[in-house]
């Protein structure tokens, strides 16, 4: 297959990734895999001798997945499922012999996408109760093992699938574009903005007598250390500067009010409110 489609868009090798469930016993797990496929952008599913199958129930559990469910192929043997593939990746809860090519999903995701440029590349999942047989694993060039705790290595089938499919999505570079940075996002605060902010904070703290029992130098150093860790942008630095100014302004106003009240002769009979 060519690596360029006629539209000129680079070919998305995920379209050649084939998900194969070997003798799945539980319809809910099939639906879980279908849903994960829709989440992660895989479309081709083959079921080998499923214990039960009902497309309506699957779309009832995994809504809006008809584009996948309508194309599910059901076959009798693994040989049949893998006949056209150029690469097969097995999956296993744990490494059972030293003779297989075990790998973590992150590394093998790169590998399957690379192989999928040349033709159908399959990932095979085993039965819920016994996993893949040795004969089935013999058909796999690599075997992906999702890291788990040692005591509990067997993942639910659909969850194991999701971890691996997620790695394939990330490796494909087709995950969604970076998170929006927000309207307010401006460049990092400049040295001058930071010094103005620290000056305003120090003056504000001084106005509220924060340094009465603390050394201003060490308080300011701690504040600098803490705020330096947050990589403030210009907007944030100006906001903190305003906090400092406001502490100063409010304190000044209160002091003025107090001074005026002291200078004024008491208003007898005046409640101060109209
Ligand atoms: N008792 C079985 C568990 C089967 S779980 C065993 O020990 O093999 C069903 C399927 O989910 C497995 O065949 C495999 O395809 C997948 N799976 C479960 N845990 C996994 C893991 N940690 N890494 C990779 N695949 C896993």
Cα 39 from Cα 165, distance rounded (Å): 9
**Final residue before a domain boundary, out of 112, 142, 172:** 172
How high is the pLDDT of residue 179? 79
Ligand 1 neighbours (beta carbon < 6 A): 91-93, 125-126, 128, 130-132, 144-146, 148, 153-155, 157, 160
The pLDDT value recorded for residue 3 is 45
Residue stretches of the chain with pLDDT short of 70 = 1-7, 182-185, 266-274
Q: What is the 3-state secondary structure (H, E, C) of the chain?
A: CCCECCCCCECCHHHHEEEEEECCCCHHHHHHHHHHHHHHCCCEEEEECCCCCCHHHHHHHCCCCHHHHCCCEEECCHHHHHCCCCEEEEECCCCCCCCCCEECHHHHHHHHHHHHCCCCEEEEECECCCECCHHHHHCCCEEECCCCCCCCCCCCHHHHHHHHHHHHHHHHCCCCCCCCCCCCCCCECCHHHHHHHHHHHHHHHHHCCCCCCCCHHHHHHHHHHHHHCCCCEHHHHHHHHHHHHHHHHHHHHHHHHHHHHHHCCCCCCCCCCC
pLDDT for residue 7: 61
The CATH number given to whatever domain includes residue 98 is 3.40.1280.10
Among 118, 145, 172, the domain-final residue is 172
Give the atom of ligand 1 at the shortest distance from the alpha carbon of 146.
23
- Which residue has the least CA distance to atom 18 on ligand 1? 155
Reported as a single tens digit per residue, the pLDDT across 41-53 is 999 999 999 999 9
168 and 209, same domain (yes or no): no
Q: How far is the CA of 93 from the centre of ligand 1 (A)?
A: 4
Range of the domain at 198: 191-263
Q: What residue's CA is closest to ligand 1, atom 22?
A: 93
Residues 96 and 153 in one domain: yes
Provide the whole-model pTM: 0.77
CA dihedral sign, ordered 140, 144, 150, 152? negative
Residues 141 and 243 grouped into a single domain: no
Partners of 131 in the beta sheet?
Answer: 127
- Domains identified in the chain, total number: 2
Rounded to whole angstroms, the Cα distance separating 83 from 121 reads 11
For a pocket test of ligand 1, which of 131, 144, 164 has the largest count of ligand atoms closer than 8 A to its C-beta? 131
Residues 34 and 145 in one domain: yes
């Amino acid at each position: 297959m060519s690596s360029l489609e006629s539209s000129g868009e680079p070919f998305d090798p995920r379209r050649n990734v084939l998900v194969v469930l070997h003798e799945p016993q539980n319809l809910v797990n099939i639906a879980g895999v279908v849903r994960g496929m829709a989440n992660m952008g895989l479309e081709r599913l083959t079921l080998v001798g499923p214990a039960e199958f009902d497309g309506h129930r699957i779309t009832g559990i995994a809504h809006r997945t008809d584009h996948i469910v309508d194309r599910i192929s059901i076959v009798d043997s693994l040989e049949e499922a893998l006949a056209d593939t150029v690469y097969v990746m097995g999956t296993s809860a744990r490494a059972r012999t030293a003779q297989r090519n075990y790998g973590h999903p992150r590394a093998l995701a790169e590998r399957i996408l690379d192989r999928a440029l040349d033709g159908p590349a399959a990932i095979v999942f085993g039965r819920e109760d016994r996993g893949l047989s040795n004969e089935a694993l013999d058909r796999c060039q690599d075997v992906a093992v999702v890291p788990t705790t040692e005591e509990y290595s067997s993942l639910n089938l659909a969850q194991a699938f999701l971890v691996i499919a997620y790695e394939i999505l990330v490796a494909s570079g087709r995950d969604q574009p970076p998170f929006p940075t927000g309207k307010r996002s401006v460049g990092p605060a400049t040295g001058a903005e930071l010094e103005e902010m620290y000056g305003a904070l120090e003056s504000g703290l001084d106005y509220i007598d924060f340094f009465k029992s603390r050394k201003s130098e060490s308080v300011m150093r701690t504040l600098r250390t803490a705020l330096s860790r947050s990589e403030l942008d210009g907007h944030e630095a100006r906001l903190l500067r305003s906090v400092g100014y406001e502490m100063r302004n409010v304190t000044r106003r209160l002091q003025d009010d107090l001074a005026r009240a002291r200078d004024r002769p008491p208003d007898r009979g005046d409640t101060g409110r109209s």
